[in-house]
Chains A and B, each alone.
Chain A
Amino acid sequence: MNKQKPVENSTSLSIRELHLSDRFAWKKLNQSLVGSCFMQSWAWATFKELEGYRTFKYGVFDQALVGGCIFYVYPRSHSANLLIAPGAPLIRPGYTSQAIELLVRQAERIAQEVRTIALRVEPLWAEKPSALNQFVRAPVDLLPSETLIIDLHPTETEIFAQMKPKGRYNIRLSQRHGVTTQFTTDLQKISMFYELFWETVQRQTFFGEPYRFFINLCQTLFAENMAELGFAMWNGEILSAVLIVYWCDRATYLYGGRSDAHGHVMANYALHWDAIKRAKAKGCQLYDFYGYTQNPNHSYAKFSQFKRQFGGTPVTTIGAQDYFFYNQFADTLIGLINRTIAQ
């Protein structure tokens, strides 16, 4: 997680919109920073545009790109909207205060155009820097602010050894049963993934995105080599599926599902273990289970118990932070008063 350096660079920075020609530099910046998030990738922005969002990509420059943000807004015709920046801002150490000031000013200009009353950011930082003092903790997050991360630097043997005994046992059990895994970027496999995902959604009674969402997501991210589907099979039957996103140093387990059948072969354990090994082979340094809780009453307690068997370290980030554009908010309020109470 990014710990901000207290010493600020004193040079004056500039900000401008990022263009397609800046895409490579934006990726390089992401790669150079700890705590980069796939939601700040160009491809994710493209995906969200398919979902109806407008995106605004801005870079902060000290001659070279030193920071920036992809802002998202879901446009509606009225004047109470919210500008969001999940996994942002991204800033090189030493530029935090200046860059945040520039980005907030830019966000305020965007807010006037798309009529948003606040900006919600959620950098993957362990501590809130003083530069975010004007931001207040949002009541909900854009990303899971508590997650479980496996460090992929050690050898496979060492990663295996740090797992809970039950995790190791179940992985070996799945191997003895002959569970096999396969990873693919074949778009034709989306329906196979979705069948298991939807079965799980219905079993667990949580919200599940529609098929449309996964078609758009996979089409966009597969084309950029940013994601894969993984399947665990046993006796010719697909028992478990995951969608893994690769971005910078991190592989993120974004979605998954499993069949209720043949639980004894522990297909899910085989699949995550192979996904972890695959992420390491691809050069990732972290395997992010994307959401974890130590609260036994939380809706994800059961999932977290499963994730815990793989070892890893619980990591908490500062969560979503809101900055209100009070002039814009006042504008919305005055308009509303005049059109409702005053009439």
Chain B
Amino acid sequence: MSNSLFIECHSQGFAFYINGDLQFDTADEAIYHEYLAIPAIILAIQRFPNTALRVLICGGGDGLTARDVLRFSEVSDVALVDYDPAVLELGRTTFVDYNQGSLLNEQQAELGSSRVAVYTQEAFEFVSALPDACFHVVICDFTFPTRPEEAKIYSREWFEQVRRVLHSSGVISTNAVSPEQTAIAFWCLYQTLLSSGFQAKPMHVAIPSFQKLEYGEWGFFIASDVEIMRSQLETLTLPNGLRELRSDWLSAFEFSDAIAQLRHEVNIHTLACPQLFYYLLNAKTDLDQFNIDSNINFLDISEAGTGQIGTQDLLELDAIAKLWLEQLKQTRFTAEELLPVQHAEQTPKMTTEWLTYLKSLLEEVDAKQLLGAVLERIQELPPKIAHDLKQTVEKLRTGQPLLQVSEQTAEIIVLISVSLLMANLAVPDAAFAKGYAASGSDCDYDSSGNAIDCGSPTDGLIGFATLLVGATWLFRLYRKKDE
């Protein structure tokens, strides 16, 4: 899919957006790029003395990270791989005043260099084809994932590939997410790095242009297969000419203790069982809940990973169906757990409001047609379930009142409900979200647009369970379609 690129001009330069997401603002891009690139390179210079360093930049087609890498004469080769030719073209033209021509050759620009080789390709594919131990530094300068598939380059499998192509003691520096807005997602990346065989150190900095758009403080990780020690970093010499990275930069490794504790509550992100996107959408950090009175500096601790591989992708239908089935057996879940946010433009309030529409959604369904379609394939079901379902349908067909449905029939109704809700959650821009509802909502609204008197969604769920026990819902539904 092609990206939409947008340059927004202002008095101090411009801001660059990909698909509407801010990539950098010239007013403060140096904060981001210097924290991302400089520590990794100077650490590599210390670890590989008198060595011609080979650096891989993944993403970063704007050429700004390359600019900061090319500051160092110790760097002999830079490979930059970015899948978007349009961004690379901007890196060679519009952005030249800022990247100093890092993607051009010597004849074309001040910083132009034959040291840089540019590849237009997906980074995962590119890195997977590289030989082992061919780079001293890998810098990941990717866009923020806004869809599940974009989180692939934050997976354990990805970091394992990066570790494979790094020399032993080599350094990876990666752009992360906001530890302030999405702490759980940030620590998911931390645990994922640890589980990939890296010793990772988290960093965070305030970038005004990011904060203006409510992205929060921004996070990075610097990692290596060999522990990164405070004593090593304290002896590093920063190059001249930096704009933002100053001698106090080690404070970037300091986190509030309360936020840092969350790192033990996450699963790692793998391709087989993705977690990151769920965390990004559903685990927003409520800073008010923390008593931020003490800090922890990650340079002072050395720890092994505690993150596990998840047992399920919590955005998947099956995982949510299982939660609902447990809810039927009285296990308590919050409304947000039962209906997680599925899309970057949804809010928990929008998704959980769907619970108030459940009855209307069920009433839409022609139970006779649906159960008929299931009965046609009854041999695909386990015998006990098939038997129960046949009995229920026969009772419905002959008009016998269902004084009680079997547990399994009740569970099937729950699965129908979950399927309907999940299908509707795929449409984040349904007009109801802007205050419009058709016949289904029981909500009233106050004059400022707040929903009032909807009843608690979880209360509605308990009511639904009651309906299940009486089986009146299914009976009426089945009969209604006959009339």
Contact = CB atoms under 8 A, between A and B. Distances in A.
Contact of A298 (B317, B322, B364, B435): B435
A110 to B, nearest CB: 14
Interface string A262-274: 0000000000000
Contacts of B241: none
A178 B327 CA distance: 61
A298 B6 contact: no
Contact of A216 (B20, B412, B439): B20
B136 interface: no
Contacts of B366: 324, 326
Interface in B402-447: 408, 411-412, 415-416, 418-420, 422-424, 426-441, 444-447
Nearest to A138: B438
A78 B415 CA distance: 14
B364 A291 contact: no
B419 A141 contact: no
Interface residues of A, number: 72
A207 B316 contact: no
B302 to A, nearest CB: 38
B415 A333 contact: yes
B318 A324 contact: no
B317 A78 contact: yes
Contact of A206 (B9, B434, B444): B434
A176 interface: no
Interface stretch (A24-32, A90-98, A167-175, A187-195): A187-195
A299 B451 CA distance: 8
Contacts of B431: 140-145, 291
Contacts of B385: 337, 341-342
Nearest to B376: A330
A140 B373 contact: no
A49 B1 contact: yes
Contact of B325 (A80, A145, A300, A340): A340
A334 interface: yes
A191 B21 CA distance: 13
A319 B374 contact: no
Contacts of B121: none
B435 A206 contact: yes
B422 A120 contact: no
A73 interface: yes
A21 interface: no
A337 B17 CA distance: 44
A78 B318 contact: yes
A139 B360 contact: yes
Interface in A33-92: 49-52, 73-74, 76-82, 84
A140 B424 contact: yes
B151 to A, nearest CB: 13
Interface in A318-343: 319-320, 322, 324, 326-327, 329-330, 332-334, 336-342
Contacts of A118: 423
For chain B, which range describes its interface: under 10, 10 to 19, 20 to 34, or 35 or more residues?
35 or more
Interface in A187-217: 187-188, 190-191, 204-207, 209-216
B243 interface: no
A330 B373 contact: yes
Contacts of A333: 370, 374, 412, 415-416, 419
B20 A338 contact: no
Nearest to B324: A340
A122 B347 CA distance: 24
A117 B427 CA distance: 13
Interface of A is mostly: mixed
Interface in B323-348: 325, 342-345, 347
A335 to B, nearest CB: 9
A137 interface: yes
Contacts of B321: 336, 340
B246 interface: no
A80 to B, nearest CB: 4
Given A204-B448, A204-B449, A300-B435, A336 B373 contact: no
A10 interface: no
A139 B364 contact: yes
A298 B366 CA distance: 30
5 contacts: A80-B317, A145-B438, A215-B17, A326-B369, A329-B419
Interface of B: 1, 4, 6, 8-9, 17, 19-21, 146-148, 213, 315-318, 321-322, 325, 342-345, 347, 349-350, 357, 360-361, 364-366, 369-370, 372-374, 376-377, 380-382, 385, 408, 411-412, 415-416, 418-420, 422-424, 426-441, 444-451
Interface of A: 49-52, 73-74, 76-82, 84, 116-118, 120, 136-146, 187-188, 190-191, 204-207, 209-216, 219-220, 291, 297-302, 319-320, 322, 324, 326-327, 329-330, 332-334, 336-342
Given A82-B423, A300-B436, 4 more contacts: A140-B438, A212-B21, A299-B445, A338-B381
List the 10 closest pairs (A to B, CB-CB), nearest first.
A139-B440, A212-B20, A299-B445, A330-B373, A139-B360, A299-B435, A78-B317, A215-B20, A299-B449, A140-B432
